[in-house]
Structure 1
Amino acid sequence: MTYQDELTNYIQQKALKEEALLTGVTKIRRVEPVILFAFPFTEKWFLNVPLLSSKMLAKDYLRSRHVQDQVASILKGEGYTAHYKTVLSLFGDFRPLAVSAGMGEWGRNGIVVNKDYGAGLLFAALFTNAPLTPTKTENQPEGEHCISCGECIRSCPADAFYNNQFHLNRCIPYSIRGCAECLKVCKKKPTH
């Protein structure tokens, strides 16, 4: 095992021990390593109960921050840079990176779907110059989990999946009022 593989494995094991659900490594522009972390997401985050949402948001933010602090400390101790964006980052969409790192696949509703956690994930990222081994993605072939299910389509009160296409303009008015029906029905699916 190379130093690169050992460092990657050590970082991922540390993140999992510190309560990240999943970790993955990919590269931006095929050059710059980025470590992705997944944390639990629940439909209770939505605006139905603002006080509860605020508490859960704070808890998940602190958890992601703690995991990223731990990993950043390891990387900096090895002489590498470490800059991160938490689950609350307003800049950047981590979904394409999460798919590239093998943490899930694109769901029909534009959300990353994982075969074990469904759509119940929030993502955070740590950018570094450390030589890390990208996560292999052959354990979850593209489209296998989501294509045949259709639960999100059947549960959508906005009919956002009209004519076999996802229409964000139909989804947004419902989602800002707290609709999370497509997330609620997207659960762990049995493996075949």
Structure 2
Amino acid sequence: MIKEPDLQRYLTKLSLDYGALVVGYTKIRQVEPVMVIGLPFSNKWILNHPFYITKRFGEEVWNSWKLLKSIAQVLLKEGYLVDMKTPLSIFGDFRPLAVSAGIGNWGKNGLVVNPKYGSNLLFASIFTNAPFESTASNSELSCGDCKLCITACPAKAFESNRFHKTRCFPKAIRGCSECVQVCQSHIK
């Protein structure tokens, strides 16, 4: 039996050992604990090599599934409930959970921007009843006057201080990641 404060540290270390880049914890409705895991996303996967992106993304999803399965086994052994969500889960939007867990803040490109990794993260989550403490940080990561993501967008999806998803989506499904590639926040 792992003691409660040590359980969160143990699962964080396990996640990082499995290749996660960042781990945070938050609560839905301030009640239900959620472990949010940031996994690597590389713009090198993007559509210049369509079979490679599928293969590479598949590998990352497979790695995330193995990690989530390992975390689930620990939590189940400790007597907690578990619901796993991989980057491909039809859950909704992981971004608000990642921001709430202190993994990053909202960038001008609408993505979660982490101080070290920029927008280059995929997210997975574990929903549980384990007694996790929230890791939300009060530090504000700000894009400041930077508008690299806005000006780099080939679809002009950020026009008039508004995000136009109908402009972004056709480019995104073809592999556009210009807003992610130019994000400089991780260089600061």
So what's the TM-score if we normalise by structure 2? 0.91
Distance 2:71 2:130 in 1: 12
Of 172, 181, 184, which residue of structure 1 is paired with 2:181?
184
CA contact (8 A) 1:4 1:133 kept: no
Q: Which amino acid aligns with 1:52?
A: Y
- Structure 1 gap ranges (5+): none
Q: In the TM superposition, what is the alpha-carbon distance from 1:90 to its structure 2 partner?
A: 2.3
The answer to whether the Cα contact below 8 Å between 1:120 and 1:187 also exists between their aligned partners in 2 is no
Contact 1:117 1:187 in 2 (8 A): no
Give distance in 1, aligned partners of 2:54 and 2:187.
33
Query: Residues of 2 paired with 1:11 and 1:187: CA distance?
Result: 30
The CA distance in 2 between the partners of 1:159 and 1:44, in whole Å, is: 22
Q: Which position in structure 2 is the counterpart of 1:152?
A: 149
Residue aligning to 2:74: 74
- Residue 171 (structure 1) aligned with residue 159 (structure 2): no
2:99 equivalent in structure 1 = 99
User: Is the partner of 1:39 in helix, strand or coil?
Assistant: strand
Please report how far the alpha carbon of residue 125 of structure 1 lies from its aligned counterpart in structure 2 after TM superposition: 0.5
Provide the aligned C-alpha RMSD in A. 1.6
Q: Which residue of 2 aligns with 1:51?
A: 51
Whole-angstrom CA distance in 1 between matches of 2:186 and 2:125: 26
Q: Following the alignment from structure 1 to structure 2, what is the Cα–Cα distance between the partners of residues 174 and 17?
A: 34
Residue in 2 that maps onto 1:132? 132
Equivalent pairs counted in the alignment come to 186
Q: Tell me, in whole angstroms, the C-alpha distance in 1 between the residues paired with 2:171 and 2:107.
A: 19
Query: Once the 2 structures are TM-superposed, how far is the Cα of residue 188 of structure 1 from its aligned partner?
Result: 4.5
Return structure 1 stretches of 4+ with deviation > 6 angstroms: none
State whether residues 143 and 185 of structure 2, in contact with CA within 8 Å, keep that contact through their aligned partners in structure 1: no
> C-alpha distance in 2, partners of 1:132/1:154?
40
Q: Mapping of 1:114-133 within 5 angstroms?
A: 114-133=114-133
8 Å CA contact 1:25, 1:33 repeated in 2? yes
Partners of 1:118 and 1:187 within 8 A in 2: yes
Structure 1 residues 94-103 or 173-182, which shifts more? 173-182
Aligned counterpart, 1:42: 42
Tell me how far apart the structure 1 counterparts of residues 187 and 176 of structure 2 sit (CA, whole Å).
25
Conserved? CA contact 2:26–2:136, under 8 Å: no
Shift of 1:178: 2.1
Aligned to 2:6: 6
Alignment-mate amino acid for residue 180 of structure 1: S
The 1-side partners of 2:89 and 2:106 are apart by 20
The whole-number CA distance in structure 1 between the counterparts of 2:90 and 2:186 is 30
What secondary structure does 1:125 align onto? strand
- Asked if 2 retains the 8 angstrom alpha-carbon contact of 1:103 and 1:114, the reply is yes
Q: Secondary structure at the match of 1:189?
A: helix
With structure 1 as the length reference, what TM-score do the two structures score? 0.89
Alignment of structure 1 residues 14-33 onto 2, 5 Å: 14-33=14-33
Identity percentage of aligned residues: 47
Q: CA deviation at 1:5?
A: 2.6
Which segments of 5 or more consecutive residues in structure 2 lack a partner in the other structure?
A: none
How much does 1:89 deviate? 1.0
